[in-house]
A and B are shown apart, each in its own frame.
Chain A
């Protein structure tokens, strides 16, 4: 199989999968020159998802001049970029503003978590009732990117950490492979270290968990390992989750256990303890550290959930802050997010990985301008903020704005589809490319247009 190394080349035309044998030499060269013009900078992608709907006011779009019943309790702070302000509880991230392109004018129409999360992660409006793992669903951003990226043998194309998304026990649609097929479902891995978010429920604990047991390193034969996995899976039979393609997971798990790059990456004990300390001793920080290690090991796409996995009616540490918004943001959510994400950006930069790694900030929607009677902010898809860093994105800029109340786009309104088109472009993927679903129907991967963030 070592003869096949060229098949694993990652760039441009090699990625296009065109059978070279059928091409004449002139058409080969014309293709080369076209391929050369794409020149994507990003090779890997880390998606940071703040599940529940992160308030734009208390993160990237503070409104200090709004009336007091809208602007909230927190003050803005200056960032490293003149003219850009963040919430005062993101002091570390404020130092990284030169790496960040903030989009303050994104909006959509979906006020429910499931729908908001679906449009944010797939870039397509939900049609009809959504159900997790339905093969007719649109593939998630991570699945779609992984479709265009070759991973080495034994390395998953896309991994998600450390939980799947649930709302009151219901598994959400939108973070799977959809019509690309189950082999594009990102592989769930549970981060091996760090204080968990509070409010992790029995639902997220019940999931099939590909936690790699490092103590079992002596298992070197694949058959023995598969038997081991079978007995683990057998215990999960009462689970309400249906794993339609268990074979795929079993093979992947076996390959990961036996293949050293991912296994080594997973072992956070191998990381310098000072670097681990930089990310913070929390499952969020340790998940972002693991994301970096997985990308280094050649995994093309990693998604990390910066929140408890289940919204659990607003209980626990997630961004669905309908009540007690300000203390929860200040004490629980923003400090962990600030430290972890800042550490990731610092670490990617000092290793020279930032220009090849696209970091994506996504959430369901923003929060309402008005603070409700429980001291919370409710769902608000009318306008909110997302961001990009690295991967050839020009930092230190803000695209678009919200109006003075933070209620609607003020200038340059854009959609999740436009944001996705930007991400695809950064990854060297033509956002308007067509793929075929499992019934052979042509599907245009994205209906948006790239934002000028490069």
Chain B
């Protein structure tokens, strides 16, 4: 695609001008090309600042790929979330002194890698959730006075490690997140037993007209066929007509969605009307009696 290629080089031209001052003799085109070959995106935040991201398109990035990243000294935001980097690769970030925001979450980075970050004094945001950091790694961060947000959910850090860092950096927010085991335990606790359902009165058919249903609020009707015969379930509609819904086998149950003030008729398989239920204001049970 020649036109795309041309367009890219036109895009890159200002980047060349922009970055050559800081990169010195290194060829910025080849650096950016190397980053892009690993799936990274380089974008310009303003005349001085670059943003480099791999998290959506460059998940295969490994330590070798960080060599090029370490050469873009104007980078202020670097997102390495979900990549394959390890502790050894972080040595290449040592020179990124302008870094303010660094994403290392969900990587295998641990304390030895974090040691390479200790001179990145402009860091304001450091995301290490679901990494391998422990209290030892927190110890390497104590001199990062500009750090304002640190994410350590699902890592090996302890309360005492966090407290120690908090003491050294009082204006830092350390986000430890929820204790998932506790969340799971709470979710597993049996819920309060629901109120026992009211049992609706069985109205045996006596030849008088069936009450029509009204439109009302939503509720659930739990039907149980306690008889030894299959029955048919009809809804008595707003005009008094019958609408067939289901068969309920002997001994079977059915959860029927309905509304307040609705009439449900039970008939035998030959459509002889047996009896009916009228819903009230709450979810209820309807027991179809033995014959």
Contacts and interface: CB of A to CB of B under 8 A. Distances in A.
B129 A351 contact: yes
A29 B7 contact: no
Contacts of B10: 20-21
Given A3-B8, A274-B181, A10 B129 contact: no
A400 interface: no
Contacts of B40: 5
B14 to A, nearest CB: 5
Interface stretch (B22-30, B45-53, B227-235, B272-280): B45-53
A349 interface: yes
B228 to A, nearest CB: 33
Interface in A2-32: 2-14, 20-21, 25, 28-29, 32
A277 interface: yes
Contacts of B220: 198
Contacts of B57: 5, 8, 152
A277 B183 contact: yes
B181 A11 contact: no
Interface string B182-216: 01101110000000000000000000000000011
A272 interface: yes
B256 interface: no
A313 B149 contact: no
A33 interface: yes
B43 A10 contact: yes
Given A8-B41, A10-B43, A152-B56, A352 B184 contact: no
Interface in A239-268: 261
B264 interface: no
A277 B51 CA distance: 36
Contact of A328 (B39, B175, B176, B217): B217
A298 interface: yes
Nearest to A275: B180
Contacts of A324: 217, 281
Given A8-B41, A20-B10, A152-B57, A323 B217 contact: yes
A36 B218 contact: no
Given A25-B14, A274-B184, A352 B217 contact: no
Interface in B137-186: 149, 151, 153, 175-178, 180-181, 183-184, 186
A314 interface: yes
A350 B149 CA distance: 11
Contact of A298 (B14, B56, B180): B56
Contacts of A313: 215
A267 B178 CA distance: 23
How extensive is the interface on chain A, given as a class?
35 or more
A315 B259 CA distance: 8
B42 interface: yes
A316 interface: yes
B257 A11 contact: no
A78 interface: no
A210 interface: no
A2 B36 contact: yes
Which of A4, A25, A272 has most chain B Cβ within 10 Å? A4
A95 to B, nearest CB: 11
A128 B184 CA distance: 51
A350 B51 contact: no
B43 A9 contact: yes
B11 A349 contact: no
Nearest to A197: B218
Interface residues of B, dominant DSSP: mixed
A199 B218 contact: yes
Given A25-B17, A346-B177, A278 B187 contact: yes
Given A25-B14, A32-B47, A278-B178, A352 B105 contact: yes
Nearest to A317: B218
A42 B203 CA distance: 62
A4 B45 contact: no
A338 B105 CA distance: 28
A297 B1 CA distance: 28
B19 interface: no
A52 to B, nearest CB: 13
B47 A29 contact: yes
A35 interface: yes
Contacts of B125: 352, 355
Nearest to B180: A274
Interface string A25-69: 100110011011001000000000000000000000000000000
A277 B182 CA distance: 11
A452 interface: no
A14 B11 CA distance: 10
A3 B151 contact: no
Contacts of B36: 2-3, 5-6
A273 interface: yes
A351 B47 contact: no
A349 B175 CA distance: 8
Contact of A14 (B12, B43, B177): B43
Contacts of A315: 215-218, 259
Interface in A295-352: 297-298, 313-317, 323-324, 328, 346, 349-352
B285 interface: no
Contact of A350 (B17, B43, B45, B175): B175
Interface of A: 1-14, 20-21, 25, 28-29, 32-33, 35-36, 39, 152, 198-199, 261, 272-275, 277-278, 297-298, 313-317, 323-324, 328, 346, 349-352, 355
Interface of B: 1, 4-5, 7-8, 10-12, 14, 17, 36-37, 39-47, 49, 51, 56-57, 103, 105, 125, 127, 129, 149, 151, 153, 175-178, 180-181, 183-184, 186-188, 215-218, 220, 257, 259, 281
Given A315-B216, A350-B177, 17 more contacts: A3-B36, A6-B43, A9-B43, A9-B44, A9-B51, A10-B41, A11-B43, A12-B46, A274-B180, A275-B183, A278-B183, A297-B56, A317-B218, A346-B177, A349-B175, A350-B178, A351-B105
7 A-B pairs with the lowest CB-CB distances in the bound complex, closest first: A36-B46, A350-B177, A9-B43, A277-B187, A274-B180, A274-B184, A352-B127
24 contacts: A3-B36, A6-B36, A10-B41, A11-B44, A12-B45, A13-B44, A20-B10, A32-B44, A32-B46, A36-B47, A275-B183, A277-B187, A278-B180, A297-B56, A313-B215, A315-B217, A315-B259, A323-B216, A346-B177, A350-B129, A350-B175, A350-B177, A351-B105, A352-B175
